[in-house]
Amino acid sequence: MNLEKLQSQKLGLVLSGGGVRGMAHIGVLKAMEEFGLEAKIVTGSSVGALVGALYANGTSVLDMMRFFKETPLFKYNYFALAKPGLIDTERYIDIFKSYFPHDSFEGLKKELHVVATNLELGEEEFITKGELIKPLLASAALPPVFSPVRYKDMLYADGGIMNNFPSEPVVGKVDFVIGSNVSIVSKSQKKDLNNSIQLTGRVTGLMIYAINREKIDKCDLLFEPRELEHIGILDRKGLEKAYAIGYETATKKFKTLRSTD
């Protein structure tokens, strides 16, 4: 499909989890804006839910990056006391209210779906109406770093635990699905698997990758830059680099589509 035809389609956008690497999503959004592409329905998990909410709110790319730079999501100074997590996730509520003062899905300018994991029921849950901030925090509450979020009298955590690429809400509702997957799995060496923490991280990453691979491959257009593998999911120094990788990858692809017009 060429760019001109793509511009006339009803687009759905799927944004994966992946920590700091999620800034690549913002780079993709910047490229989409420059090439006249706008998604009507957005769905995301973890950091993808946060980026998706900012996009659905009409927040500029510049302000999206400011949000992640100023909001201490990747800073370890919000330690939790007497909670099951190193960082008290609910301390972010007031910060989020400055970006989402309406605190509701209905207050957004686009249809948004976020997925979070209900720890008590052991189920994934899609949320698309009502209160906004707590579901966003829940979707991004990666254990054991962030404490679970109490929402509707139940405990929720990172959506990526059970669904890191939540494409389900856009299937059959749009003409064309654009996916941005930043949970990259690269080859590993023995030296990178010499303790239990490294091994656990590797196994978890492989499980998430395998579970979501089929859905990822069904996207009509997918951005999955391998260069992101060199950026740690909690490495704040990689914010700008991840953004640049996402932008450059999407720009190259859109230029290719335009050349076929």
Q: What is the pLDDT of residues 37-82, one digit of tens each?
A: 999 999 999 999 999 999 999 999 999 999 998 876 655 444 444 4
pLDDT band at 194 (very low <50, low <70, confident <90, very high): low
CB 155 within 8 A of CB 149: yes
First to last CA, the chain: 9
Q: Is 183 a catalytic residue?
A: no
Write out the two tokens for 219. 């996207």
Query: How many whole angstroms separate alpha carbon 77 and alpha carbon 165?
Result: 29
Span of 71-75, 162-166, 218-222, 254-258 with lowest mean pLDDT: 71-75
Please state, rounded to an integer, the average pLDDT across all residues of the chain: 87
- Checking phi first, is residue 31 left (phi over 0); if not, alpha (psi -120 to 50) or beta? alpha
Q: What is the mean pLDDT of residues 15-19?
A: 93
**Reported confidence tier of residue 186, pLDDT bands at 50, 70, 90:** low
The DSSP element (H or E) to which 131 belongs, if any, is none
Chain Cα centroid distance, residue 24: 9
- Side chain identity at 257, as an amino acid letter? L
Quick check: helix, strand or coil at residue 95? helix
What per-residue string of b and e applies to 205-229 under the rule 16 or more CB within 10 Å gives b?
A: beebbeebeebbeebebebbbebbe
pTM of the model: 0.89
Q: Count other Cβ atoms within 10 Å, centred on residue 137.
A: 25
Instruction: Indicate the pLDDT class of residue 229, thresholds 50, 70 and 90.
Output: confident
Q: Which of 45, 139, 147, 158 is catalytic?
A: 158
Concerning whether 158 is annotated as a catalytic residue, the answer is yes
Of 217, 214, 205, the closest CA to residue 161 belongs to 205
Closest CA to 15 of 209, 165, 157, 190: 165
pLDDT tier for residue 184 given thresholds of 50, 70 and 90: confident
Q: How far apart are CA 221 and CA 239, in angstroms?
A: 24
CA distances from residue 244 to 29, 78, 133 in whole angstroms, order as listed: 11, 28, 27
- Alpha carbon distance 121, 112 (integer Å): 23
Q: What is the CA radius of gyration of the chain?
A: 18
**76 CB neighbour count, 10 Å cutoff:** 10
35 against 236, higher pLDDT: 35
On the question of pLDDT at 111 being above 80, the answer is: yes
